[in-house]
């Protein structure tokens, strides 16, 4: 019986939080590579918050996924068949195959991975897009100096965990914000942050203030919402705020109630001489070599640790994705598609 | 009959827009310089929007003027008597004597001016703090490239006029926003901006959009309010927004109604990769030599023009200041204190 391919397509644009009916699992015949092409079989699928943006058709930096189109994603894939002299059967590559088991590629945009250097799944996490987001946003925009205080939310996640650990490497005080005692313990005791605040409890603003007695010099913004409300009054003069995500806003159906208004934010920008700068990882593509070299070295030295949260099987990708948007994952969210 | 000195002190902290009763004119004996000191007689008094901030005790980058204390200001002053070997009677100096006719100084912080090089009043305007605010904010934060579009509000004023003219020198398209047809004509026809929009008419957003067909790459923010509301939707990807003032907010007694909320602004920061950065001129003190050299040269070459709006006599300073906050001045606002 021939192998069958499977994919998950966008069935409808979510209103508010994505729900199972916004996704549809389809079967299709395994595609056959033509001359110069290769067939990729997905091993690991990456789930990342930015995908929520691709499900909407509001203007953004990337075009949305179309209705009935395969959901976008980075993958680690194995070359299952090759008519392309640059790749051999069995090669492991970083690809953007999307939420599906198979894809035909002409080889462009693929990066070959060496399984001996690092577990291949790390190409989607600490040594991939999330790690590079942390590295470039923190170092190019945040630019923490020794003794300064760096605060990052989603601190046990793929991006936040790397932000705080690099802050420590640079001699800064790292304070994380995470959801629940298990994540906070991990951030403090395993990752070595100086402190971690549970955003689920009462008095977030008070507890964050106590953890940042000298104010906040760098706030790595990836969630917005109540965490921003707690951070804002604590920002120091000349604080830098790299903005790489706004998870709390992604599924908002109406304008979020924000504690601080735009005029209040602008007043602080002026009086505290703040820098607020948005970025996406591809803006700093020229830094990819530096990132690979530094982070691989720091992992080897034990200065950067990482954690993965693994869902099993393509059919469970929607549930894992919806959970991730609510912070249910603990570490970089992956889906294992094939052994 | 001995000469009498005069000063204007802060009588009360304004609630909303400053009113005449918030100021008090006082007479006092001309102070006598002690050993090593000198007596300064004010010739020109500078009025600038930042002084509104100093009248309030809300936290800011500088401490407020105290009740019954002399209002702060930069001045151009003449040395009337000197017991200090570094200064001679008749020297002209840039000082911060405040809103008063006389002050005793120990000589520190004074900068001697050469009346042959430029009219001495320009040390308070195009060759002084406002000119340097324009120069550093535009070049260090805005960094306009040839062909980009630069928008500046209060375009006929001390800062805005220099911002637009430097933008032109750098090959950018300069679009001003000003109040009334006279100012707009001046900005276009005298200063050489590509366009100037009257913010007093209807459909500000539509007219600004027509003047910026390729969007806005640099917005030099010095007023906020409805001008920001018109600028915001037009910002291009990677736009830079130096924030040096928020005149429209300074006298607000309650939170300004802003068309765009903080979450909307943050969404644009992320999706358009905006940079918003506050600054005050002293943050770039290291650039003072470059500023003096470049702007003096550009004035000599006719590439930078300037205009002064002169009130006569210390007693008229409050009225001129209150008018300036409403945009009634036309050019750099000065008060002539003595011939």
Kindly state whether residues B224 and B211 are assigned to the same domain. Answer: yes
The answer to whether B262 contacts chain A (CB < 8 Å) is yes
Kindly state whether residues B27 and B58 are assigned to the same domain. Answer: yes
Which residues have C-beta within 8 Å of that of residue A263, sequence separation ≥ 6?
B224, B246, B249, B252, B255, B256, B258
Tokens for B336?
Answer: 């002539």
Work out the mean pLDDT of chain A and round it to a whole number. Answer: 94
Contact A256 B263 (CB under 8 A): yes
How many residues appear in chain A? 339
Selected residues 194-233 of chain A with any CB under 8 Å from a CB in chain B = 221, 224, 228
Q: What CATH number did the domain enclosing A263 receive?
A: 3.40.50.720
Contact A237 B261 (CB under 8 A): no
**Over the stretch A306-338, which tens digit does the pLDDT of each residue have?**
999 999 999 999 999 999 998 899 999 999 999
Q: How confident is the model at residue A59 (pLDDT cuts 50, 70, 90)?
A: confident
3-state secondary structure of B177: strand
- pLDDT at residue number B217: 98
The answer to whether A262 contacts chain B (CB < 8 Å) is yes
* pTM attached to this predicted model: 0.90
Radius of gyration over every alpha carbon of chain B, rounded to an integer in angstroms: 21
Domain count, chain B: 2
How many residues appear in chain B? 339
- Closest C-alpha among B5, B280, B185 to residue A272: B280
Interface A–B counts its CB contacts (< 8 A) at 116
For residue B94, list its beta bridge partners: B76, B111
- Over residues B19-47, mean pLDDT: 97
Contact A266 B244 (CB under 8 A): no
Q: How confident is the model at residue A25 (pLDDT cuts 50, 70, 90)?
A: very high
Alpha-carbon distance B198 to A129, whole Å? 46
Domain membership flag for residue B302: no
Domain membership flag for residue B35: yes
Q: What is the largest CA-CA distance in chain A?
A: 70
Domain membership flag for residue B237: yes
CB-CB neighbors (< 8 A) of A232 in chain B: none
Kindly state whether residues B234 and B318 are assigned to the same domain. Answer: no
Nearest to A243 among B60, B261, B270 (CB): B270
Contact A283 B271 (CB under 8 A): no
3-state secondary structure of B243: strand
The answer to whether B63 contacts chain A (CB < 8 Å) is no
CB-CB neighbors (< 8 A) of A57 in chain B: none
Kindly state whether residues B201 and B234 are assigned to the same domain. Answer: yes
Kindly state whether residues A138 and A239 are assigned to the same domain. Answer: yes
- Closest C-alpha among B299, B308, B327 to residue B166: B299
Kindly state whether residues A139 and A272 are assigned to the same domain. Answer: yes
Q: How confident is the model at residue A18 (pLDDT cuts 50, 70, 90)?
A: very high
The answer to whether A326 contacts chain B (CB < 8 Å) is no
Kindly state whether residues B146 and B19 are assigned to the same domain. Answer: no
- Minimal Cα–Cα distance from B172 to chain A, Å? 22
- pLDDT at residue number B93: 98
Tokens for A103?
Answer: 């894809």
Alpha-carbon distance A151 to A237, whole Å? 15
Tell me which residue has tokens 């209807």: B202
Tell whether the model's pLDDT for residue B198 goes beyond 80: yes
- Closest C-alpha among A182, A186, A176, A115 to residue A149: A176
Contact A261 B263 (CB under 8 A): no
Total Cβ atoms within 10 A of residue A58: 9
- pLDDT at residue number B177: 96
A38-46 vs A75-82, strand pairing mode: antiparallel
- pLDDT at residue number A107: 95
Nearest to A224 among B244, B260, B263 (CB): B263
Q: How confident is the model at residue B246 (pLDDT cuts 50, 70, 90)?
A: confident
**Over the stretch A227-280, which tens digit does the pLDDT of each residue have?**
899 999 999 999 999 999 776 666 655 555 678 888 889 999 999 999 999 999
Kindly state whether residues B251 and B137 are assigned to the same domain. Answer: yes
The DSSP annotation for B179-242 comes to: SSHHHHHIIIIIT--SEEEETTSS-HHHHHHHH-TT-EEEEEBSS-THHHHHHGGGEEEEEEEE
Q: How confident is the model at residue A137 (pLDDT cuts 50, 70, 90)?
A: very high
- Over residues B27-41, mean pLDDT: 97
For residues B154 and B178, is the Cβ–Cβ distance under 8 A? yes
Tell whether the model's pLDDT for residue A1 goes beyond 80: no
Domain membership flag for residue B42: yes
The answer to whether A287 contacts chain B (CB < 8 Å) is no
Tokens for B303?
Answer: 């590439």
Q: Which domain holds residue B237?
A: 129-284+293-297
The answer to whether B292 contacts chain A (CB < 8 Å) is no
Tell whether the model's pLDDT for residue B58 goes beyond 90: no
Tell whether the model's pLDDT for residue B233 goes beyond 80: yes
Alpha-carbon distance B7 to B104, whole Å? 13
- pLDDT at residue number B195: 98
For residues B177 and B208, is the Cβ–Cβ distance under 8 A? yes
- Minimal Cα–Cα distance from B115 to chain A, Å? 34
A149-152 vs A216-220, strand pairing mode: parallel
**Over the stretch B133-176, which tens digit does the pLDDT of each residue have?**
999 999 999 999 999 999 999 999 999 999 999 999 999 999 99
CB-CB neighbors (< 8 A) of A246 in chain B: 263, 266-267, 270
Work out the mean pLDDT of chain B and round it to a whole number. Answer: 93
Q: What CATH number did the domain enclosing A17 receive?
A: 3.90.180.10
Contact A263 B258 (CB under 8 A): yes
Kindly state whether residues B241 and B262 are assigned to the same domain. Answer: yes
Kindly state whether residues A147 and A280 are assigned to the same domain. Answer: yes
- pLDDT at residue number B26: 97
H or E element at residue A322: helix A317-325
Alpha-carbon distance A186 to A56, whole Å? 34
Alpha-carbon distance A336 to B26, whole Å? 80
DSSP assigned state of B62: S
H or E element at residue A62: none
For residue B7, list its beta bridge partners: B26, B100
**Over the stretch B98-133, which tens digit does the pLDDT of each residue have?**
999 999 999 999 999 999 989 999 999 999 999 999
- pLDDT at residue number B62: 82
Total Cβ atoms within 10 A of residue B92: 18
Q: What is the ipTM of this complex?
A: 0.88
Total Cβ atoms within 10 A of residue B56: 15
Kindly state whether residues B151 and B252 are assigned to the same domain. Answer: yes
Tell whether the model's pLDDT for residue A150 goes beyond 90: yes
- pLDDT at residue number A38: 97
- pLDDT at residue number A293: 95
**Over the stretch A70-122, which tens digit does the pLDDT of each residue have?**
999 999 999 999 999 999 999 999 999 999 999 999 999 999 999 998 999 99
For residues A78 and A41, is the Cβ–Cβ distance under 8 A? yes
Indicate the range of A202-216, B143-157, B237-251 predicted with least confidence: B237-251
Total Cβ atoms within 10 A of residue A30: 16
Kindly state whether residues A143 and A279 are assigned to the same domain. Answer: yes
């Amino acid at each position: 019986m021939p192998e069958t391919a499977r994919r998950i397509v966008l069935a409808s644009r979510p209103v508010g939080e994505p729900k199972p009916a916004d996704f549809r699992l389809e079967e299709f015949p395994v595609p056959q590579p033509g001359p110069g092409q290769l067939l990729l079989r997905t091993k690991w699928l990456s789930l990342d918050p930015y995908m929520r943006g691709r499900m909407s058709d509001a203007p953004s930096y990337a075009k949305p996924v179309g209705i009935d189109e395969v959901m976008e994603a980075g993958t680690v894939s194995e070359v299952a068949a090759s008519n392309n002299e640059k790749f051999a059967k069995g090669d492991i590559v970083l690809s953007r195959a999307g939420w599906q088991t198979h894809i035909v590629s002409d080889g462009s945009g693929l990066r070959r991975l060496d399984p001996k250097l690092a577990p291949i799944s790390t190409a989607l996490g600490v040594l991939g897009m999330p790690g590079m987001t942390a590295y470039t946003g923190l170092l190019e925009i945040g630019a923490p100096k020794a003794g300064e205080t760096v605060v990052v939310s989603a601190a046990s996640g793929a991006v936040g965990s790397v932000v705080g650990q690099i802050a420590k490497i640079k001699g800064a005080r790292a304070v994380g914000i995470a959801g629940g005692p298990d994540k906070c313990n991990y951030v403090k005791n395993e990752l070595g942050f100086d402190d971690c605040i549970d955003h689920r409890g009462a008095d977030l603003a008070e507890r964050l203030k106590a953890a940042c007695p000298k104010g906040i010099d760098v706030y790595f913004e990836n969630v917005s919402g109540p965490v921003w409300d707690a951070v804002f009054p604590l920002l120091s003069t000349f604080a830098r705020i790299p903005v790489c995500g706004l998870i709390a806003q992604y599924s908002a159906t109406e304008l979020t109630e924000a504690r601080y208004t735009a005029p209040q934010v602008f007043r602080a920008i002026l009086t505290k001489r703040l820098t607020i700068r948005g970025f996406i990882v591809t803006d700093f593509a020229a830094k990819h070599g530096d990132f690979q070299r530094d982070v691989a070295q720091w992992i080897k030295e034990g200065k950067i640790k990482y954690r993965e949260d693994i869902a099993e099987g393509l059919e469970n990708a929607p549930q894992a994705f919806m959970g991730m948007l609510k912070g249910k994952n603990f570490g970089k969210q992956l889906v294992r598609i094939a052994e």
